[in-house]
Amino acid sequence: MEFSEHLDELMICRLDSTKKEVEPCTVVIFGASGDLTARKLIPAFFHLFQDKVAPDPIRIIGVARREKDHESWREELWEACCRFSRTQPVERQDWEKFAQNIFYCQGDYGSDFATFERLKSMVGEAEDERLRNNILFYLATKPSQFLDVTAHLDESGLLLRDPDPPFWRRVVVEKPIGHDLASASALNQGLTKHAHEKQIYRIDHYLGKETVQNILMFRFSNSVFEQLWNRQAIDHVQITVSEDMGVGGRGGYYEEAGALRDMVQNHLLQVLALVAMEPPVSLEAESIRDEKVKALRSIRPLSLAPIETQVVRGQYVGGKVHGEKRIAYRDEDRVAEDSNVETYVGMKLYIDNWRWSNAPFYLRTGKNMKAKCSEVRIQFRSTPNVLFAAQCGTKLDNNALTLRLQPNEGISLRFNGKIPGSTMQIRPVRMDFRYDSEFGAYTPEAYERLLLEAMAGDATLFIRGDEVEAAWSIVDSIREGWSDQPLTEREFYKAGSWGPDAADDLTARQGHNWREPEGGK
């Protein structure tokens, strides 16, 4: 066998070793009467069941305070699935087959230990030993209840602190993981008293999006782009996650969180880590997460320069989005009339490592903006101004690569081309790849992929404790820099715009400007 063939065989084995199969298991959902269960979790399990990729057999046990029996809960979930399923209409006969696996356990999981004894008894009733022993605990509860529920699971013997037993127990925790570095560290320490870090799956639904996962595939499987993925070729990177809706009924929550905690600490910094990370030594979960943490820890401390030169905030005032009138944030329900909470954040970050030294990363997110979109724009360096610049002027644009995460998911490459004719005229043109035209319209819901990976024991798409803390350390330094200062006139923006004037100042200092996203709607 040739050496190159042997090497290829070894690499294939290395890649295949990461694939994990799902085993029959019981899924216990705490907070079973909540919105997350109805809108996301049960429809996701139903789709997995329909597609024949769910564990076989599987049991789903919901735990909540409200008094109801198995049948009444199943009927509630049927109505929810009819509203929120991605496949419409939902066939009743398909649902009935799935619903046979759903059960309800009533009780107060926050303070009543007897609830966990009833749950333990219900788990033990399963005839299949694998259903009794392989258990996924999903904490769709308030963050303040994470530690109490985990402690009770440990005390009752339902959760065994062992990462590699003959069977498995895992805990899925929803965001937010704390509200600052201190609280996140305390929560992580509390959770690991009752479960090993390898048993804890911190979920960020953004990482379950097919297009977000494709960032790694695109980067490391295409040599033509990987060779350009550095400061020598790239001038700067822009990451945009904009929303065309206001806070709506979440005014009370937003008064506590703001856009910085709600979006930057998790979604935007996770995307940045995937874009900026070094190649992992393998596709194993820990190898990938190691590199993500390294990227986050390489971000230049924001305390090294005045905060206003690195981060801007904004708050929307009245305006129109898609022709629809929108009220100001301060006029929303449960929002203080003099609130200084940010609904927009724009920031400039530097990653101090060999690959990215002095290449700025611009991040922005906001509510009530001109369009709903998520994308990563890689702006390449300009060519020397010796041939076309004098003749073409501003029509000679820098090359750019855009990864559209949502909507209109796809990838486009922008370059300069000659306009047909007798004169040397030039303009930017675009090569475009779209998921829907290449693979069809179907893209799995994020929760489907994440639930499947949690049941399979693959933590690649979940956030490790040190990742959470690295992100919070960045966010905390920003909040300290703002120090409850009131918003200025340049920090307010009209609903339906791309953000405040102060955000343009942020990019202009480096001779850059925000580019309007390609995929917004």
User: Checking DSSP bridges between strand 344-349 and strand 361-366, what pairing results, if any?
Assistant: antiparallel
Q: Around 374, how many Cα atoms within 13 Å sit in the side-chain half-sphere? A: 19
Residue of 406, 407, 428, 432 lying closest to 417 (CA atoms):
428
Please say whether the dihedral angle defined by the alpha carbons of residues 283, 284, 289 and 291, taken in this order, is positive or negative. negative
Q: How many DSSP H helices and E strands does the chain contain?
A: 19, 17
Question: For residues 57-89, b (16+ Cβ closer than 10 Å) or e, as one string?
Answer: ebbbbbbbeeebeeeebbebbbebbeebbeeee
Terminus-to-terminus CA distance in the chain, angstroms? Answer: 54
Which of 47, 194, 236, 267 does the annotation list as catalytic? 267
- 236 among known catalytic residues: no
Q: Is 199 exposed, middle or buried (0-12, 13-18, 19+ CB in 10 A)?
A: buried
- DSSP label at residue 487: P
Q: Is 390 exposed, middle or buried (0-12, 13-18, 19+ CB in 10 A)?
A: exposed
> If you write DSSP's letter for every residue of 231-257 in order, what string do you get?
TTTEEEEEEEEE-SS--GGGHHHHHHH
Residue of 185, 192, 183, 122 lying closest to 161 (CA atoms):
192
Q: Which phi and psi angles does 318 have, rounded to 5°? A: -60, 150
Q: Extract the tokens encoding 165.
A: 């037993």
Residue 137, CA distances (Å) to 26, 150, 337 in order: 9, 9, 41
Helices (H), 51-177: 70-84, 92-99, 113-124, 129-133, 146-155
Length of the chain: 521
Annotated catalytic residues are 267
